[in-house]
A and B are shown apart, each in its own frame.
Chain A
Amino acid sequence: MAPHSPGTDQIDTLLWIGFVAAAIVVVAINLALFYAIRRYRGERGAEPRQISGGRRIQFRVAGVLTVFAAVVFILGIIFTGKAHETPTTGDAGLTAQESAPLEIEATGQQWLWRYTYPNGAFSYYKLVVPVDTAVKLKLVSTDVVHTWNVPDLAGKRDAVPGKTNKVIFRANDEGSFTGDAATLSGQAYASMRTEVEVVSPAEYEEFIETQKTDIEAAQERVVGLIENGEVP
Chain B
Amino acid sequence: MNESPRPELVVSGFPRKRARWIELATSGDHKDVARILISGALGFLFIAVIEFLLMRLQLAIPENKFLSPVGFNRMLSLYGGTAIFFFALPLAIGLAYYVAPLQVGARGTALPRLGQIGMALWVAGAVVLYAGFMYTPSEAGVNPFAPLTETAFLSNNGVDAWATSVGLATLGFVLISIDLLTTLRNMRTPGMAWRRVPIFAWGATVGSWLMLFVGPVFLAALTMLMIDRNYDGIFFADGSGGAPLLWQHLSWIFFSGAYMLILIFAFGAIAEIVTAFSGKPLFNRSAVMTSLAAIAVIGTLAWMQNMLTAPIGLGWMYFAMLMSLALIIPVGLVVFNLIATLFGGVLRMRAPLLYAVGALSLISIGLAAEIQQSLVAAAWDIKNTTDATAATHFALIGGAVFGGLAALHYWYPKMTGRTMGESLARISFWTMLLGVLVTFVPLALAGYDEGQVIDAYKFFDATGVNAYNLIATIGAFVLAAGIVMSLVNAISSRVNGAEAGHDPWGGDTLEWFTLSPPDPHNFDVLVDVRSERPMRDIREAIAHRTASAELPTRESQPVA
Which of A91-99, A159-167, A218-226 sits within the interface? Answer: A159-167
Asked whether, in the complex, the Cβ of B322 is within 8 Å of the Cβ of A155, the reply is no
Contact between B342 and A40 (Cβ–Cβ < 8 Å)? yes
For residue B382, which residues in chain A have a CB less than 8 angstroms away from its CB? Answer: 15
Cα separation A127 to B140 with both chains bound (whole Å): 28
The answer for the CA separation of A79 and B456 in the assembled complex, in Å, is: 30
| Bound complex: CA A182 to CA B375 (Å) | 18
Flag if A26 contacts B364 (CB, 8 Å).
yes
Q: Is the CB of B349 within 8 A of A37?
A: yes
Partner of A160, one of B244, B329, B459: B244
State which of A48-56, A100-108, A112-120, A208-216 sits at the interface with chain B: A48-56
A53 touches B347 (CB 8 A): no
Q: Which residues of B contact A76 (CB under 8 A)?
A: 321, 325, 374-378
Q: Determine the chain B residues whose CB is within 8 A of the CB of A154 once the complex forms.
A: 380
B368 at the interface (CB under 8 A from A): yes
Which candidate, A16-24, A128-136, A196-204, is the interface stretch facing chain B? A16-24
Q: Is the CB of B309 within 8 A of A188?
A: no
Cβ–Cβ contact B361 & A33, under 8 A: yes
Given A145-B145, A158-B311, A186-B139; A15-B372 close (CB under 8 Å): yes
Chain A residues within 8 Å of B336, by CB: 61
Q: Does A83 contact B (CB under 8 A)?
A: yes
For B281, B314, B336, B367, which residue has the most chain A Cβ atoms within 10 angstroms? B336
Known: A33-B339, A61-B332, A62-B333. A84 touches B372 (CB 8 A): no
Partner of B325, one of A46, A69, A157: A69
Contacts of A11 in B (CB 8 A): 377-378, 380-381
A50 → chain B closest CB, angstroms: 6
CB-CB under 8 A from A158, the residues of chain B are 309-311
Q: A33-B357, A73-B322, A79-B377 are in contact. Are A51 and B280 (CB under 8 A)?
A: yes
User: For B360, what are the chain A residues with a Cβ–Cβ distance below 8 Å?
Assistant: 29, 33
- For chain B, residues 430 to 481, give those with C-beta under 8 angstroms from any C-beta of chain A: 448-449, 451, 453-459
Which stretch (B4-12, B44-52, B282-290, B489-497) binds chain A? B282-290
In the complex, the answer to whether B384 meets A182 with C-beta atoms within 8 Å is yes
Please tell me if the beta carbons of B335 and A29 are within 8 angstroms of each other in the complex.
yes
Tell me the complex Cα distance, A144–B371, Å: 29
Question: Would B145 and A144 count as touching, CB distance under 8 A?
Answer: yes
Task: Say whether B280 contacts A53, CB under 8 Å.
Answer: no
CB-CB < 8 A to A29: which residues of B?
335, 339, 360-361, 364
Q: Looking at chain B, what size class is its interface with the partner chain? A: 35 or more
Nearest residue, chain B, Cβ from A8: B381
Within 8 A of A (CB), among B124-181: 139-141, 145-148, 152-154
Contact of B147 among A36, A143, A184 (CB under 8 A): A143
B494 → A minimal CB distance (Å): 28
Answer whether residue A185 sits at the interface, using C-beta atoms and an 8 A cutoff. Answer: yes
Q: Is B383 an interface residue (CB 8 A)?
A: yes
Q: Which of A37, A46, A75 has the most CB of B within 10 A?
A: A37
- The answer to the question of A90 belonging to the interface, with a C-beta cut-off of 8 Å to chain B, is no
Does A68 have its Cβ within 8 Å of any Cβ on chain B? yes
Considering the chains assembled together, what is the distance between the CA atoms of A185 and B342 in angstroms? 47
Q: Give every chain B residue within 8 A of A26 (Cβ-Cβ).
A: 364-365, 368
In the complex, the answer to whether B369 meets A163 with C-beta atoms within 8 Å is no
CB of B103 closer than 8 Å to a CB of A: no
Instruction: Indicate if B345 sits at the interface (CB-CB under 8 A).
Output: yes
Bound complex: CA A12 to CA B310 (Å):
20
Residue contact A155 to B380, C-beta cutoff 8 Å: yes
Q: In the bound complex, how far is the Cα of B311 from the Cα of A183, in angstroms?
A: 14
- List 9 A–B pairs whose Cβ atoms lie within 8 Å, in order of A's numbering: A26-B365, A42-B345, A52-B284, A57-B284, A76-B378, A83-B377, A144-B145, A158-B310, A165-B311
15 more A-B contacts (CB under 8 A) besides A18-B373, A40-B278?
A11-B378, A15-B448, A29-B339, A33-B360, A37-B349, A42-B348, A53-B340, A58-B333, A80-B314, A149-B453, A151-B451, A154-B380, A157-B311, A162-B244, A187-B139
